[in-house]
């Protein structure tokens, strides 16, 4: 068996972040070959990661980046806040966000981490994820990612809140130079209100149907005549949309004004095209 020096162990540890004993053992099995030892540590890291997958990853952060007319947002999860605030974790999250600009992602589609790794070029991201798992010893997962390819006069406003646990991107078109401010204001609003869709038409049909069913049962139990009960349901559904559709919501900074009023004030040709909101673990 090749003699493994302290310097060799130190070098391997600096490159991989693995524990000293793990590094020494890998070097011994690789007969002192550092590159082969790295491969061994990666393989073991993947095996350990599979065991860690059952452990809850409810901490983490959201990161937003912009480059060359594109905006990207990523959510990365881990087990403890200690790791989530580490330099290694934050650097990894930033590297994932930057990588999204170069991958063939579908514009505007929210993807979970596993789908990201299946895209051409995603293998390198998965390898980097496994390296981080080895280094921090936790169940690190890429939760969700999304990229907006911004065209024409559109702009994206973004906002990170609550220690980077909530992130929002809002794309506004036709707003010119003032669009960024309008979009950011709406992004800050959406971070606080968690809308279910841009308009009532964008709220998932099953969510609407479930709410309507509950309201119908409540109306029946009230003992009101059918025509009155129907009006009660429609009125409460309107309130539901005002609470859950972004454009119908009261602006948090000025409750007398709805988001659609804020957009109208920005210009006749201004419109909110889409938004995405990530909250760690939600």
List the beta bridge partners of residue 60. 77
Instruction: Give the residue-averaged pLDDT of 266-277.
Output: 92
pLDDT at 121 over 70: yes
CATH code reported for the domain at 6-52: 1.10.8.10
CA distances from 145 to 27, 64, 83, 111 (A): 37, 10, 20, 5
Length of the chain: 282
> In this structure, are residues 77 and 281 in contact, taking their beta carbons and an 8 Å threshold?
yes
Angle at 218 between CA 215 and CA 224, to 5 degrees: 115
What tens digit of pLDDT does each residue of 33-59 get?
998 888 888 777 655 555 555 567 899
What is the three-class DSSP state of 224? coil
Q: Which residue, among 32, 30, 54, 31, has the nearest Cα to 43 in the 3D structure?
A: 30
* 251 token code pair: 């602006």
In the chain, pLDDT over 90 holds for what percent of residues? 61
pLDDT at 1 (0 to 100): 57
In angstroms, the Cα distances linking 280 to 14, 76, 164, 169, 200 are 30, 8, 9, 15, 25
Q: Is 279 helix (H, G, I), strand (E, B) or coil?
A: strand
Quick: pLDDT tens for 7-34: 898 888 877 767 778 888 889 998 889 9
- How high is the pLDDT of residue 57? 86
Instruction: Pull the structure tokens for residue 90.
Output: 């934050």
Q: What is the pLDDT of residue 184?
A: 94
Q: What average pLDDT score do residues 97-115 get?
A: 95
pLDDT of 66-81, one tens digit each?
999 999 999 999 999 9
Q: List alpha helices for 87-224, DSSP H.
A: 87-99, 113-118, 122-136, 179-193, 205-221
**Mean pLDDT of the region 107-115:** 93
Spatial separation of the C-alpha atoms in residues 1 and 191, rounded to whole Å: 58
Is 231 a residue whose pLDDT tops 70? yes
| pLDDT for position 112 | 92
Tell me which of 3.40.190.80, 3.40.50.720, 3.90.1150.10, 3.30.479.20 is the CATH number of domain 54-149: 3.30.479.20
Instruction: Tokens for 139, please give them.
Output: 């169940």
Of 145, 142, 171, nearest to 156 by C-alpha is: 171
Yes or no: domain 204-244 corresponds to CATH 1.10.150: no
| pLDDT score of 54 | 55
pLDDT digits (tens, 9 = 90+) for 210-225: 999 999 888 888 888 8
Query: Over 90: is that where the pLDDT of 257 sits?
Result: yes
Query: Structure pTM?
Result: 0.80
Contact yes or no for 38/64 (Cβ under 8 A)? no
Domains in the chain: boundaries: 6-52, 54-149, 204-244
pLDDT at 237: 95
The three-state secondary structure class of 275 is: strand
Higher pLDDT pick, 147 / 162: 147
Residue 177 has pLDDT above 70, yes or no: no
Residue with the larger pLDDT of the pair 101 and 13: 101
Report the 10 Å Cβ neighbour count for 218: 13
Instruction: Provide the angle, in degrees to the nearest 10, between the axes of the packed helices 259-266 and 179-193.
Output: 180
- Quote the CA–CA distance of 76 and 142 in Å, as a whole number: 4
DSSP 105: P
């Amino acid at each position: 068996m090749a003699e493994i020096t302290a310097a060799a162990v130190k070098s391997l540890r600096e490159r991989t972040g693995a524990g000293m004993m793990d590094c020494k053992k890998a070097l011994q099995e690789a007969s002192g070959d550092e590159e082969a030892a790295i491969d061994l540590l990666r393989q073991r890291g993947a095996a350990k990661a599979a065991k860690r997958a059952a452990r809850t990853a409810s901490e983490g952060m959201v990161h937003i980046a912009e480059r060359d007319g594109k905006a990207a947002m990523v959510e990365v999860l881990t087990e403890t806040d200690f790791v989530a605030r580490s330099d290694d974790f934050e650097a990894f999250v930033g590297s994932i966000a930057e990588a999204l600009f170069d991958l063939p992602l579908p514009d505007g589609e929210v993807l979970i981490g596993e789908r990201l790794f299946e895209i051409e070029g995603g293998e390198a991201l998965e390898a980097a994820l496994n390296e981080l798992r080895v280094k921090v010893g936790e169940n690190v997962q890429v939760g969700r990612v999304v990229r907006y390819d911004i065209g024409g006069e559109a702009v994206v406003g973004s906002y990170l809140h609550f220690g980077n646990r909530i992130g929002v991107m809002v794309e506004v078109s036709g707003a010119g130079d003032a669009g960024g401010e309008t979009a950011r204001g709406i992004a800050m609003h959406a971070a606080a209100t968690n809308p279910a869709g841009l308009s009532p038409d964008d709220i998932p049909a099953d969510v609407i149907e479930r709410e309507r069913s509950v309201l119908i049962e409540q109306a029946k139990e009230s003992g009101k005549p059918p025509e009155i009960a129907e009006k009660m349901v429609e009125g409460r559904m309107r309130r539901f949309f005002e609470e859950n559709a972004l454009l119908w919501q009261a602006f948090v900074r000025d409750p007398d004004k709805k988001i659609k009023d804020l957009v109208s004030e920005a210009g006749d040709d201004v419109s909110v095209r889409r938004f995405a909101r990530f909250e760690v673990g939600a």
